[in-house]
Amino acid sequence: MADITSQIPASARTGATAIGSGPRGPKPRRRLSPGNIMLYGTLFVVSVYYLLPLWVMVMTSLKGMPEIRMGNIFAPPVEVTFQPWVKAWSEACTGLNCDGLSRGFWNSVKILIPSVFFSIIIASINGYALVNWRFKGSDVFFTILIFGSFIPYQIMLYPIVILLREMGIYGTLWGLVLVHTIFGMPILTLLFRNYFSSLPEELFKAARVDGAGFWGIYFRIMLPMSLPIFVVAIILQVTGIWNDFLFGVVYTKPELYPMTVQLNNIVNSVQGVKEYNVNMAATLLTGLVPLIVYFASGKLFVRGIAAGAVKG
Amino acid sequence: MAGTPRRMRPLRNIYAKIAAIPMVLTALVVFVGGTLWTVTYSFTNSKLLPKLNFVGLDQYERLWSNSLWLTSIQNLMIFGILSAVLTITMGFLLAVLMDQKIRFEDTFRTIMLYPFALSFVVTGLVWQWLLNPDLGIQEFVRGLGFATFEFDPLSNPDTVLYGLLIAGLWQGTGFVMCIMLAGLRGIDEDIWKAVRVDGIPRWKTYIFVVIPMMRPVFITTLVLVASGIIRLYDLVVAQTSGGPGNASQVPAMYVYRYMFTAQNLGQGFAASTMMLLSVLIVLIPWAYLEFGGKKNG
Amino acid sequence: MKSMKLAAFLAASVALPSMASAVELEVTHWWTSGGEAAAVAELAKAFDASGDKWVDGAIAGGGDTARPIMISRITGGDPMGATQFNHGQQALELVEAGLMLDLTDVAEAEGWKDKVYPPSLLDSCTVDGRIYCAPVNIHSPEWLWLSNKVYEDIGIPVPQNWNEFVASAPQVEAAGKIPLALGGQPWQSNLAFGALTVAVAGLDVWKQVNIEKNMDVAAGPEMLAVFTAAADARKLAAKSTVQDWNQATNLVITDQAAGQIMGDWAQGEFQVAGEVAGKDYTCLPGLGLNKYLSTGGDAFYFPKLDDPEKEAAQKRLAALLVSPEVQVAFNLKKGSLPIRGDVNLDAANDCMKKGLEILAGGNIMPSGDQLWSPDVQTQLGDLQAEFWKSDMAAADAHAKYLEILKSGL
């Protein structure tokens, strides 16, 4: 294990990629060798498998219903229409509410921003305290936290209903923010703990000698030095919280439903025939935010999941 | 160990202790407290509201004689084993391919990993659509002239799990590939020089040298994949809703169904306790292997 | 000073009309299909017209999806203004826990006792002599819906009962149509089974099993015959791969399937599609064999809110839901029967009139929701889901059925 865990924070510190210093396999041979054809051929076929659903989603969302019934799903639209997108965004109905996914989108944004903010702040302080200010029992709590990340959510579903009720925030935005903060804590704490423990200890000691306290060191030394890991954490949380379905469905009410829940609602409220083009447009719209984050962040995303995963 | 107290004083590190309150509360109240609460109430006959009316092991007896639960467990076993074996094998093979100093590595990785950024709900809906017999892949191939082509896994109880598997693999293999690739890159380059000198073929090197060296990575991946599988919920809800019939029911759905729909909390709690138990069965040997010998931290 | 006072006065007078009466009430329900949404719109319209504001909280995916959300919101301390449940035991524990508003004074003022028919509907709302819900409609699940066009195309008369329907199935299949449309959700199989029970085994057996809870009868050959009939029916539904009930109804509407066993709410879908009862489609209550209808249905419950203004609005809504005008407007759209006998339903179509006739003749029975707990209902649903979509033997299913009923005694 040590080979990877030690490597990830190190590369994070230097700003290099989590994948390390490039391929380590044997040297490639001639460019058009049979081996290379096999290699690239396989990768090409695999890429098709991965890309096909996206292609189908985009194409279907641009077709009208008659064309969907007639033509094949892989063909590009003969007649491009953006009507399904408009409908999915602002007209699709659940019951009497015909404002499409737009409401869910804004709800998700409202849930996302405080959840990401609080979960990351708290987890980074946890990681910092765990590495630099260890106190009696701190490792025990950390171990519980890590074990906690493996507990099936179902087992804590109901106790949290009670917890939120007692706090008087059940069904509110803040209730859901709290739930996301709690369930984001294990993986993020681990991420920050691993990162902070890779920073040179001398920095911390020098600051202590200068008389800096807990918060002083955190804000003036740790925070500025750990921007890359904050970006990784933000990526992890934005995609994770945006994609959440279970918590959104259990701990909120219809007017606060996040986009994933509304997507499921819209797709399942069939009025007459299923409008696959609208469903696909709605699906794409819901996936858009994590996809943009993913494509924009590139290697940082990879580092995030690799770093989070390796020990989590 | 920076900051490790030399003497035990309660006021030492007071700010660190205050700052750690959220973590301590989460660990104790939510994770430990919530788990104990659920386990305790699994021994009661709570219906719609939790009540401390103990009935011993009744809920568990009923659980294990309930054919829906048994079906759920069986489905999860089949799906889980296939999914774990296939994601890890495919993830490793893809990582090996990616590690051949190929061109466009970033492009290929981007393509393989993007489904991981999507939610299970999105994944489930897309594959439900692709596997739709009247409009999806089946109809497309039939349109090519193979009029008797059958590819309709989701409407047949015997094959629906494979339909879920296709979607699950699509979403998850890219992620496993990335971890494996990180593992491959973590292997000392001298190994490759050494085997090249000895003239050992590449495939042999992978099987006899690389895989044993990557054992911890494989174990970690397995634990990650397995704990994800036990929780499997969103994908099934979005793709099949557990159907046709009960053919793709999974334990997490059973828990939800009994807790809330059947208004039998006790039964739901008993089922979720069994889920917890199965996670522990996966987790404890791993934790032992991982942290057993050496000191934590 | 003067101008400030004037401004304040002006502001108050502008704000007054809307502030005085408009109380917002969030109403949750699972009515999201075309016909259902049209019916809910009638309720919302009436409530808004009375000066309050209906805030719609529709939850898609059917009652099994929606009820958990409603219940966890009520128990979680974030109750809505009003919520749909099926009458019966679904909300019983919530009432017993004191989470629901007592509507007895509304019921007395409006004279529900004399007007609600059949009285069993109000009984289902009553716990310890107090009334906790406002029934809005009667739904009976024992209907067979047939596409006239499918039979015209084949050139045989439209079946008049279940037996003729089964006999005609080979010809339907030969014509490349699905004989029986059936959605994949568990409750739909359970519903079809319930309808077959009354049709095949007869009302007496049904009553002995479900009301008197006589397990000897439940174990007897009559019930086994029902399972055998259901095993035949599932063969007819083998090619039906849809999930939602209204998609299955849509198969009948578009003449891809010959028939569907579904509750009277299916009518709303035919109506939205512009089909005419008797001409485009045929409905057979009691599957054409035993013309009895069970009288379950939907009711609205009002969770307790610590706000006298909202409580007054809840009571206004409760009274409104039962009022004759709303009953007519709502039920015509919904395809269900009104809960009072004193309303004018001349506008009703053929199918509704058949239902009204049966109702007036007193050929009614209580619904499963009124007789068995949600726990038993869920298990029965799971059993039927498995039975209808697998090749489980009728005798095996019968044995499991018996076990589940016994667990609910």
Instruction: Report the alpha-carbon distance of residue A130 to residue A194 in Å, rounded.
Output: 10
SS (HEC) of chain A? CHHHHCHHHHHHHHCCCCCCCCCCCCCCCCCCCHHHHHHHHHHHHHHHHHHHHHHHHHHHHCCCHHHHHHCCCCCCCCCCCCHHHHHHHHCCCECCECCCCHHHHHHHHHHHHHHHHHHHHHHHHHHHHHHHCCCCCHHHHHHHHHHHCCCCHHHHHHHHHHHHHHHCCCCCHHHHHHHHHHHHHHHHHHHHHHHHHHCCHHHHHHHHHCCCCHHHHHHHHHHHHCHHHHHHHHHHHHHHHHHCCHHHHHHCCHHHCCHHHHHHHHHHCCCCCCCHHHHHHHHHHHHHHHHHHHHHHCHHHHHHHHHHHHHC
Contacts of C41 in chain A (CB under 8 A): 96
Which residues of chain B does C388 touch, with a Cβ-Cβ cutoff of 8 Å?
A: 245
Strand runs labelled E in C257-403: 257-262, 281-285, 293-294, 298-301, 364-365
A79 with A114, same domain: the answer is no
- B246 vs C382: CB contact, 8 Å cut-off? yes
pLDDT of A31 > 70? The answer is: no
- What is the number of other CB atoms lying within 10 angstroms of the CB of residue C304? 16
Measured in degrees and rounded to the nearest 5, phi and psi for residue C287 equal 55, 20
Nearest to A245 by CA among A204, A187, A286: A286
Inter-chain residue contact C26 with A255, CB threshold 8 Å: yes
Domain that holds residue A77: 25-88
Relative to beta strand C24-29, strand C82-86 is: parallel
| pLDDT tens digits, one per residue of B189-219 | 888 888 888 888 888 888 888 888 888 888 8
At A122, list the tokens. 């708290």
Q: Do C60 and A266 touch (CB under 8 A)?
A: yes
What confidence tens digit (pLDDT) does each residue in A78-127 have? Answer: 888 899 999 889 888 777 777 888 889 999 999 999 999 999 999 999 99
Contact C244 A170 (CB under 8 A): no
Final residue belonging to a domain, choices A88, A122, A143: A88
Cα C120 to the center of its chain, rounded Å: 15
- Cβ contact, residue pair A95, C57, below 8 Å: yes
List chains touching C (3+ CB pairs under 8 A). Answer: A, B
List chain C domain ranges: 24-139+296-364, 143-294+372-407
B211 in reach of chain C (CB within 8 A): no
DSSP type of residue C161: S
State the best of B92, B121, B240, B289 to mutate against chain A, taking most chain A CBs within 10 Å.
Answer: B121
| CATH number of the domain to which A162 belongs | 1.10.3720.10
- Nearest Cβ partner for A152 among B126, B187, B231: B231
Chains in touch with B (≥3 Cβ pairs < 8 A): A, C
Q: Where are chain B's structural domains?
A: 63-291
Sign of CA pseudo-dihedral C83, C84, C87, C93:
negative
The verdict on residue A11 lying in a domain is: no
Lowest-confidence segment of A15-29, B81-95, C258-272, C363-377 by average pLDDT = A15-29
**For each of chain C's 409 residues, which pLDDT tens digit applies?**
444 444 444 444 444 444 446 889 999 998 888 888 889 999 999 999 988 999 888 887 778 778 888 888 888 888 899 999 987 778 888 898 899 999 999 999 999 988 888 888 888 889 999 999 999 988 888 899 999 999 999 999 999 999 999 999 999 999 999 999 998 777 888 889 988 988 888 888 888 888 889 999 999 999 999 999 999 888 998 888 787 788 889 899 999 999 999 988 888 888 888 888 888 999 998 888 888 888 778 999 999 998 899 999 999 999 999 999 999 999 888 888 888 888 877 777 788 888 888 888 888 887 766 778 888 888 888 898 889 888 889 999 999 999 899 888 7
Report the percent of chain B where pLDDT is more than 70: 93
Are the beta carbons of B192 and A147 separated by less than 8 Å? no
Pick left, alpha or beta for residue C286 (phi over 0 → left; psi -120 to 50 → alpha; otherwise beta). Answer: left
A139-177: pLDDT as tens digits = 888 888 888 877 888 788 889 988 998 998 988 899 999
> Does A83 share its domain with A124?
no
Asked whether this chain's domains C24-139+296-364 and C143-294+372-407 adopt the same fold, the reply is yes
A positions 190-229 inside 8 Å of B (CB): 201, 204-205, 208, 213-215
Domain check: are A117 and A202 in the same one?
yes
Interface of A with C (CB under 8 A): 93-97, 161, 164-165, 168, 170-172, 249-251, 253-255, 264-266, 268-274
Residues A301, A184 share a domain: yes
Task: Flag if C75 and B243 touch (Cβ within 8 Å).
Answer: no
A123 and A233 Cβ atoms separated by less than 8 Å? yes
Work out the minimum CA distance from B158 to partner chain A, whole angstroms: 24
For A50, the closest of B115, B255, B297 (CB atoms) is B115
Tell me: do A36 and A129 sit in the same domain: no
Q: How many residues does chain A have?
A: 312
Question: A164, A252, A255, A270: best mutation site toward chain C, by most C Cβ within 10 Å?
Answer: A270
Q: Alpha carbon of C224 to those of A170, C188, C227: distances in Å?
A: 48, 20, 5
Cβ separation of B49 and C374 shorter than 8 Å?
no
Task: Using CB atoms, pick whichever of C31, C69, C273 lies closest to residue A95.
Answer: C31
Residues of chain B positioned with their CB less than 8 A from the CB of C73? none
Q: Is B49 on the interface with C (CB under 8 A)?
A: yes
| Residue with token string 């039906």 | C240
Q: Give chain A positions within 8 Å (CB) of C28.
A: 254
CA distance linking residue A173 with residue A107, whole number of Å: 9
Cβ–Cβ below 8 Å for B261 and C185: no
- Of C71, C186, C379, nearest to B260 by CB-CB distance is C71
**Measured between CB atoms, which of B143, B174, B184 is closest to A24?**
B184
Whole-number pLDDT of residue A308 = 54
Is the minimum CB–CB distance between A119 and chain B shorter than 8 Å? no
Contact C375 B263 (CB under 8 A): yes
* DSSP designation for B33: I
Q: Are residues A30 and A162 in the same domain?
A: no
CB contact under 8 A, B246 and C375: no
Question: Do B139 and A306 make contact, defined as CB atoms within 8 angstroms?
Answer: no
In a domain, A19, yes or no: no
Domain check: are A55 and A150 in the same one? Answer: no
Q: Which of C127, C240, C256, C378 to mutate to test the interface with B (most CBs of B within 10 A)?
A: C378
**What is C24-139+296-364's CATH superfamily?**
Periplasmic binding protein-like II (3.40.190.10)
| Helix, strand, coil tally for chain B in percent (to 5) | 70, 0, 30
Chain A residues within an 8 Å CB radius of C273: 272
Distance of residue B56 Cα from the nearest chain A Cα, in angstroms: 19
Give C352 to chain B, closest Cα distance, Å: 31
Q: What is the mean pLDDT of residues B47-59?
A: 89
B197: which chain A residues are within 8 Å (Cβ-Cβ)? none
Mutation choice for A interface testing from B99, B118, B171, B286 by most A CBs within 10 A: B118
Chain B interface disruption, residue of C92, C389, C402, most B CBs within 10 A: C389
**Rounded Cα distance, C362 and C352, in Å:** 15
Higher pLDDT pick, A67 / A26: A67
Give the pLDDT band of residue A5 (cuts 50, 70, 90): very low
Determine the pLDDT at residue B14. 81
Q: Are residues A49 and A181 in the same domain?
A: no
Q: May I ask the CATH class of domain B63-291?
A: mainly alpha
CB atoms C241 and B49 under 8 Å: no
Are A124 and A247 part of one and the same domain? yes
Contacts of C53 in chain A (CB under 8 A): none
Torsion of CA B31, B35, B37, B40, to 10 degrees: -160
CB contact under 8 A, C184 and B245: yes
C93–B62 CB contact, under 8 Å: no
* CATH number given to C143-294+372-407: 3.40.190.10
Per-residue confidence band for B100, with pLDDT thresholds at 50, 70 and 90 = confident
Residues of B in contact with C254 (CB under 8 A): none
Q: State whether residue A274 sits within 8 Å of chain B by CB.
A: no
Chain B residue numbers with beta carbons less than 8 Å from the beta carbon of A151 are: 31, 35, 276, 279
Integer angstrom CA distances of residue A281 from A47, A120, B156, C364: 23, 32, 28, 47
Chain B and chain C share a number of CB contacts under 8 A equal to 84
Using a CB-CB cut-off of 8 Å, the residues of chain B touching A294 are 113-114, 117
Residue A1, pLDDT > 60, answer no
The closest of A107, A261, B255 to C66, measured between CA atoms, is A261
Pick C342 or B124 by higher pLDDT: B124
Q: Is C68 in contact with B259 (Cβ distance < 8 A)?
A: yes
Nearest to C389 among B247, B261, B264 (CB): B247
Q: Give how many domains chain A has, as a whole number.
A: 2
Q: Are residues A35 and A59 in the same domain?
A: yes
Contacts of A165 in chain C (CB under 8 A): 75-77
